[in-house]
Amino acid sequence: MSQQFLRWAVEIVSANVTGKGFSSTQLAQMLREVAETLESLAVAPQAPPVEAAPPKAPEGPPSWKAAIGRNAITCLICGYQGKMLTPHLKSKHQMTPREYRREFQIPAKVPLVSKAYRATRSRIARETGVAEKLKGARQAKKA
């Protein structure tokens, strides 16, 4: 039995028996059992070596086009999926959309929202006449 295992056993047993009224024979038996258990755990049977899998070809950075799905957009940093990416970038990565686009070479014209969300917002804008209101506001500003 190794001295190191015996020292560890003394620490374990003394932490558990303080003030509980064990006899010296009981303490010696507990020390022996704990030390033997520690040693048997340390000398676990050796597993046969596992044959290493062939190395995979390194993947390039994920495609930003694949990240923009029908119902969700995927964060290329952490894998988060949601309808809009901008709030996630600001809260979780302290990053602006401009910095994110620059890091992953995403064109500025590509919105960081899912396709379904973009279609819904576009339909609502058409129904409420946002384009006409904007056109009128621009003409009023010029005058």
The CATH number that applies at residue 96 is: 1.10.10.1550
Of the two residues 3 and 75, the one the predictor is more confident about is: 75
The amino acid at 92: K
How far CA 63 is from CA of 28, 46, 85, 96, in Å, comes to 65, 43, 16, 19
How far CA 78 is from CA of 62, 73, 75, 89, 98, in Å, comes to 11, 12, 6, 10, 17
Let me know whether 35 and 84 are in one domain. no
Rg for the chain (alpha carbons), in Å? 33
When pLDDT is cut at 50, 70 and 90, the band that residue 44 belongs to is low
Of the two residues 57 and 115, the one the predictor is more confident about is: 115
When pLDDT is cut at 50, 70 and 90, the band that residue 16 belongs to is confident
Residue 52, φ and ψ in degrees, nearest 5: -70, 140
Residue 112 scores a pLDDT above 80: yes
When pLDDT is cut at 50, 70 and 90, the band that residue 61 belongs to is low
Least confident residue range of 29-38, 56-65, 115-124: 56-65
When pLDDT is cut at 50, 70 and 90, the band that residue 50 belongs to is low
Rounded to whole angstroms, the Cα distance separating 121 from 40 reads 66
Let me know whether 25 and 87 are in one domain. no
How many percent of the chain have pLDDT more than 70?
80
Burial class from Cβ neighbours inside 10 Å (0-12, 13-18, 19+) for residue 6 reads: middle
Provide the domain limits for residue 26: 3-42
Q: How many domains, in total, are found in the chain?
A: 2
- The answer to whether residue 50 sits within a structural domain is no
Residue 3 scores a pLDDT above 80: no
| Residues in a beta bridge with 118 | none
- Model confidence, pTM: 0.52
Can you point out the beta strands (E) in the chain?
73-74, 81-82
Let me know whether 123 and 79 are in one domain. yes
First to last CA, the chain: 96
